[in-house]
Amino acid sequence: MKLFNENMKIVTWNINGIRTFKGGIKKALDLFDADIVCFQETKVTRDLLDERTAIVDGYNSYFSFSRGRSGYSGVATFCKDGAMPVAAEEGLTGLLTNHSNAVGCYGDQGDFSTEELQMLDNEGRAVITQHRVMCDHQEKTLTVMNVYCPRADPEKPERKLFKLQFYRLLQTRAEAILQAGGHVIVLGDVNTSHKPIDHCDPDDIENFEDNPSRKWLNNFLFEKNEREELEESGSASPGSGGGKFVDVFRCFHPGRQNAFTCWSTLTGARQTNYGTRIDYILADQSLAEGHFLSADIMPEVEGSDHCPVQGSLRCALLAGHRAPPLCTRLMPEFAGRQQKLSRFLVRVEPRGPQASVETLPGSQELGEIRENIQPSGAGNATRTTAGRKRASVEDGAPGGKRSKVGRDGGPPQGNLLAFFKPKPRGPEQEGRAMLSQEVPERSGGNGGVPEGVAWPNREESQCNITGGGLVEENGLPGDRAVSEDGAKGSEGGAQGSLDRARGTEGRAQESEGGARVFWKTVLRGLPPAPLCSVHQEPCVLRTVRKAGPNLGRQFFVCARPQGHTSNPQARCNFFSWVDKGKS
């Protein structure tokens, strides 16, 4: 093992989806410049994990995936190569470990059934890495437990029980590892705000600590001041501030207010800092008080509904000799790939006159395969080569150029302009189309109209006859004048044509108006947004997503971000249901 650094830095962050990093995960890792970075809520399963995320230059990574749902939960720990762990393990129970170099020390799990243990590890909520460190010139083990604790859904009582079971199992495992010797850090999204100071707007301060999750957290954490006060009064109990772990942030910032790590993105609450502190770095008492140099939140880092939490320690990391089997670079789908350039070079075999289905990419659907072999609209595949050549000229290649024909005698390469051609027209339509264009002025009695083509009717030319010539209408250029006698002679027939055209136009307008009324009745637009009562600003439309009698109903609320009632910049309490008859 080699000594890496005299001090070490550790970061935890709920990223709300690891695939949201458009520039790649390495950019975020380099930005933190931390030895160990722990992510929660990666929302990626093993089949969707791409190589760019799994294998990052300069780091070794360890993932835990949800087994039951895709795009759900998941945690990942990235360690610099100089901070490579000596052991790594997925989950808390040990049931997911089928390799050597496991962390071990599972504690007494007798209170859980096998089914419960399997369910607790089934959602990919824990990765444990064990490192060797040098603290005060003594080599010790440091175990980092990266956890994403469940959320207790008020509408699902079984999830409340699941959360408390996860807490108990986490405490059992953490205390067992600590008892075996060395130091332990539990960090991540704990999904519980500990004290009223950690909540933007606690609704029931008197009963705040009666919440079962907060009771567990009180039992898990060691709080020196409270413990001393309770011992002096003689009312100390095993579950009152007598745990083995310390909230490191509160060690350095015991009274800081408005220090939150999570905000609602739906209400824009981050703008008003209306949030909660539910992301922690919890260390054993000896490590927290003797070796941590600092700890703080990082609200300036955006990209998620959570912000990172960082801590630095006065400990030197000792890098392991080889990566534990859980390391992603040792997965069969990634093993060795980052070192082989040959996988980027693929030999392309020459294709015959007709490509088979198997030569197309396997990711394509059957319909796409057929379309690539014989695109729709390309014409009859049985046409002769001469027919193809003829079509390439007739289909409007610019300058009379022919479309290229494949070397192997296959279908010719289509011309891009062929996709923008009008449909073929008959002789009569062709003549009318020619007259709809501006005809260059020529000498002669027909005003430059080619021989054999009739003069357009009045409605086709869209011109009025006045005096001795054509007057432009709608800004369209008129042709040369015809004689007044000729104009009068054709006036009767032209008037009949004009009446028919007006009748057709009237029916078209009537039909269009009827269709417009019909679609307005079917697809009614949104009602106009009302003004909120306090700011007199247009409200925003929301939809109820929560299961219940109001599911799917729409309502208007103030458009400003959510915040405390005392904050004038926060949204007011305006609320109005959308009347179904007006939506």
Annotated binding-site members for Mg(2+): 14, 41, 189, 191, 305-306
Please report how the helices 157-179 and 114-121 are oriented relative to each other, as an axis angle in degrees rounded to 10: 90
* Integer Cα distance of 474 and 451 in angstroms: 28
Helix, strand and coil content of the chain, in percent to the nearest 5, comes to 30, 20, 50
* Integer Cα distance of 133 and 136 in angstroms: 10
* Integer Cα distance of 461 and 473 in angstroms: 9
Three-state SS sequence of 288-351: HHHCEEEEEECCCCCCCCECCEEEEECCEEEECCCCCCCCHHHCCCCCCHHHCHHHHCCCCCCC
The backbone region for 452, taken as left when phi is positive above 0, alpha when psi lies in -120 to 50, beta otherwise, is: left
Task: For residue 217, give the 3-state DSSP assignment.
Answer: helix
Catalytic residue among 131, 198, 306, 479: 306
* Integer Cα distance of 258 and 272 in angstroms: 10
Three-state SS sequence of 192-233: CCCCHHHECCCCCCCCHHHCHHHHHHHHHEECHHHHHHHHHH
Catalytic residue among 35, 62, 121, 189: 189
* Residues ≥6 apart with Cβ < 8 Å to 576: 530, 539, 555, 556
Q: Could you identify the residue written with the tokens 């009008």? A: 422
* Integer Cα distance of 225 and 138 in angstroms: 29
Specify the amino acid at residue 494: A
Contact (Cβ atoms closer than 8 angstroms) between residue 248 and residue 296:
no
Give me the phi and psi of 145, to 5 degrees please.
-105, 105
Three-state SS sequence of 367-413: HHHHHHHCCCCCCCCCCCHHHHHHHHHHCCCHHHCCCCECCCCCCEC
Annotated binding site: 14, 41, 189, 191, 305-306
- 148 tagged catalytic: yes
Strand partners, 40: 14, 75
Residue 283 Cα distances to 249, 315, 350, angstroms = 10, 14, 63
**What 8-state DSSP symbol labels residue 94?**
S
Strand partners, 141: 132
Specify the amino acid at residue 481: A
**What 8-state DSSP symbol labels residue 255?**
T
- Please give the structure tokens belonging to residue 416: 């891009």
Contact (Cβ atoms closer than 8 angstroms) between residue 53 and residue 18:
yes
* Integer Cα distance of 501 and 510 in angstroms: 14
How deeply is 541 buried, as exposed, middle or buried, from its count of CB atoms within 10 A (0-12, 13-18, 19+)?
middle
* Integer Cα distance of 266 and 236 in angstroms: 43
Please report, in angstroms and rounded to a whole number, the separation of the first and last CA atoms in the chain.
69
Catalytic residue among 62, 148, 274, 280: 148
* CA 18, 22, 23, 27 torsion-angle sign: negative
* Residues ≥6 apart with Cβ < 8 Å to 200: 258, 260, 269, 273, 274, 275, 276, 564
Catalytic residues, by residue number, are 148, 189, 306
